[in-house]
Amino acid sequence: MALQFISNTIIRTKNALGKMPERTLLVLLAFFVGLGSGVAAVVLKKLIELIHVSLTSWFDKPVDNYLYLVYPGIGMLLSYLFVKYIVREDISHGVTKVLLSISKNESRIKKRNTWSSIVASSMTIGFGGSVGAEAPIVYTGAAIGSNIARGLGLSYKQMTILLGCGAAGAIAGIFKAPLAAILFTLEILLFNISMTSILPLLVSSITATVVSYFFLGDAVAFSNTLESFSMHNLPYYIILGIFCGGMSLYFIRTTIRVEDKMRRVKKPINRWLIGALSLGVLIFLFPQLYGEGYDSLTLMLNNNPIEMAGGAFGSELLTNKWVVPIFFAAILFLKVYATAFTNAGGGVGGTFGPTLFTGGIAGFVVGRLINLSGIHVIPEANFVLVGMAGMMAGVMQAPMTAIFLIAEITGGYDLLIPLIVTSLFSFATIRTMEQYSIYTKRIAQQGDLLTHDSDKAVLTLLKTSELIETDFVTIGIDKTLGDLVKAIATSHRNIFPVVDDLNRFQGYVSLDDVRTIMFDTDQYDNVKIYSIMKSAPAFVYDDEKMESVMKKFEYTQAWNLPVLDDENKYLGFVSKSKIFSSYREQLQQVSHE
């Protein structure tokens, strides 16, 4: 009886929602998506804090720091075992996973991803993994939005918007930054969303922010002691922007290179050992690399950078004024390795947090060097804050998100001009050397990236395997003209693929090729198919990217091309007319018209 009641309730709810106007429906659902994403963000932050405090709150002697050698490895191992035996799928790099789900999986994300990233990343980060919680919570929020839409049987367009609402709600919930959350979704995830679809994003972001305020208070994420902006410092913010652009290139390429090398280690246990030992040593030497590093950022934003010192070197080393920027530069360059070792060694986390951390360090290093040079005196805390935006603009290639996120999470709207200048110079610098962000580089290499270019976005969404036409009558290569005439009588097509006994494609015969002899019955037994067939100008494979398929149509000037599998067995034909028809349908969905 209970199951029947629940089933009837769901059916009635679906029917009621189905009668609503689309905009009203999306706004209503966006509220619930934002509610769920906000709660998920609060739960993740609290779990990380609980684990972190339980493990480190009693550290009061330098010898206790030796536990830094083992804590991160334990967290990575727990995360790896959880993912391998319970989740059973790779859930690392959450933002990249969301982009892939939009481009390859019709915005569908599995139900277990509404909670799996929370569990895995809380263990990874709580035990000291040097990654961020933002990417996992974005994946969680996107999964919440996707599954609500999927449960109600909504279209791809509506599902994608709610997926974006979940991602926006996640960012808003974890940072209490609704405007930046919307910009993050528009710049990084939903490239071709229309202005009419922004309202659901706004509702979701505000809802999640209110949830976060309710449970976590109304204080900004990073307290600070900033000074007012002075136009005399503007040239130095430009220098900082260029430096952040160069460091962003280092961050992206080093992260990918280290992770790729780690993944070449075949045995997971060996990957974990390498990652755990390497990360443990780095954190033991530089405790600032432990976890997200947000406590260190807060110290720098309050002009207390030396209080960050500790670990094997201690604070005595920093009594020399020139050693200070060298020490922090070492942290700046090593943070990338710590992040890569965490993710490749079995941990679950993102690069969002490390980007903010390295940006703050970069700002401090540049600011301290300028002050030590005696050329000019600048407020170092301001440079720490602006460096966070500069690094984010470069690594994520999302300058608008960087500007407003840092302003929101620090209350630093008085520094809006330097935030804009540094972010734009960082973005311009890295774009001269790297086209893709940390999130999009790998999937762009695979050809699965949706872009702001509508044509490329649509081609990415089209799948060759779904466009194959199979109603062509095949003819054996050893058959005769008489057999072909019989095939013509039963077919409404004018192309006849020629195959061998194993169904491997050999060529084709068109109706025009035999029109002059098909009524000459004397030749029915004499003319063999292999003597009149033609070779195809090009072949298409069922898993081939549509952009590649279109290039083949362009250089062959063909209207139909045969589709083969990886064993060269015939599957059917793909035609320009079918592609153009599907293109128009997808363009409407991608553009959200």
> What pLDDT, in 10s, does the model give residues 279-321?
988 988 888 898 888 888 888 888 888 777 655 555 666 677 8
Q: Are 437 and 188 in contact (CB under 8 A)?
A: yes
Tell whether the model's pLDDT for residue 39 goes beyond 90.
Answer: yes
Contact status, residue 405 vs residue 221, Cβ threshold 8 Å: no
Q: Which of helix, strand or coil describes residue 509?
A: strand
335-345 pLDDT, tens digit per residue, is 999 999 999 99
Q: In what order do the strands lie in the sheet with 570-575?
A: 540-541, 560-564, 570-575
- Residue from 70, 84, 173 nearest 129 by CA: 70
CA atoms within 13 A on the CB side of 191: 18
Q: What is the mean pLDDT of residues 507-517?
A: 86
pLDDT at 260 over 50: yes
Least trusted range by pLDDT, from 2-11, 83-92, 169-178, 514-523: 2-11
Residue 7, pLDDT score: 46
Q: Does 369 fall in a domain?
A: yes
Start-to-end CA span in the chain (Å): 43
465, 412: one domain = no
Whether 536 and 507 have beta carbons less than 8 Å apart is answered as: yes
- Residue 188 Cα distances to 170, 401, 425, 460, angstroms: 14, 9, 19, 16
Query: Which distant-in-sequence residues (6+ apart) come within 8 Å of 201 by Cβ?
Result: 30, 161, 164, 165, 168, 181, 182, 185, 186, 193
Backbone angles phi, psi at 529, to 5 degrees: -60, -40
168 plus 97 within the same structural domain: yes
Q: In the prediction, which pLDDT does 1 show? A: 46
Residues 184, 286: one domain?
no
Q: Check pLDDT > 70 for residue 65.
A: no
Q: Which residue has the tokens 């362009």?
A: 554
Alpha carbons within 13 A on the beta-carbon side of 485: 17
Instruction: Give residue 61's pLDDT.
Output: 52
Evaluate whether residue 452 is within a structural domain. no
Range of the structural domain that residue 147 is part of? 2-216
Q: What is the pLDDT of residue 11?
A: 54
More confident residue, 445 or 543: 543
Q: Are residues 476 and 432 in the same domain?
A: no
Last residue of a domain, one of 424, 445, 466: 445
Say if 6 falls within a structural domain.
Answer: yes
Radius of gyration of the chain (CA): 29
Residues 415, 550 within the same domain: no
Q: Is residue 149 part of a domain?
A: yes
Specify if 451 maps to a domain: no
Residue 322, φ and ψ in degrees, nearest 5: -85, -15
Q: How sure is the predictor about 64, in pLDDT bands with cuts at 50, 70 and 90?
A: low
Same domain? 330 vs 434: yes
Indicate the pairing of strand 475-476 with strand 495-499.
parallel
Looking up residue 163, the CATH number of its domain turns out to be 1.10.3080.10
Helix (H, G, I), strand (E, B) or coil at 480: strand
Helix, strand or coil, per DSSP, at residue 146: helix
Residue 223 in any domain: the answer is: no
* Residue 181 counted as domain residue: yes
| 195's tokens | 């202005």
Same domain, residue pair 16 and 156: yes
pLDDT value of position 292: 87
Interval 465-509: pLDDT, tens: 788 888 888 899 888 888 888 888 888 888 899 998 888 888 899
Least confident of 179-183, 219-223, 455-459: 455-459
Instruction: Look at the chain and report how many structural domains it folds into.
Output: 3
Strand bridging mode 560-564 / 540-541: parallel
User: Averaged over 527-539, what is the pLDDT?
Assistant: 87
CA dihedral 217, 218, 222, 223 (to 10 degrees): -110
Rounded to whole angstroms, how far apart are CA atoms 112 and 104? 19
Nearest-angstrom CA–CA distance, 209 and 39: 10
Q: What is the pLDDT of residue 213?
A: 92
Q: Which of 398, 416, 445 is the last residue of a domain?
A: 445
Q: Are residues 278 and 395 in the same domain?
A: yes
Same domain as 532, residue 426? no
Task: Indicate whether 418 and 469 sit together in one domain.
Answer: no
Question: CA 261, CA 135: separation in Å to the nearest integer?
Answer: 22
Residue 355 falls inside a structural domain: yes
Among residues 423, 445, 467, which one ends one of the domains? 445
What number of helices (H) and strands (E) belong to the chain?
Answer: 24, 6
pLDDT level of residue 242 (50, 70, 90 thresholds): very high
Q: Are residues 179 and 106 in the same domain?
A: yes
Q: What's the CATH number where 502 sits? A: 3.10.580.10
Residues 429 and 366 in one domain: yes
Query: 258: Cβ–Cβ under 8 A, 6 or more apart, which residues?
Result: 336, 337, 340, 341, 344
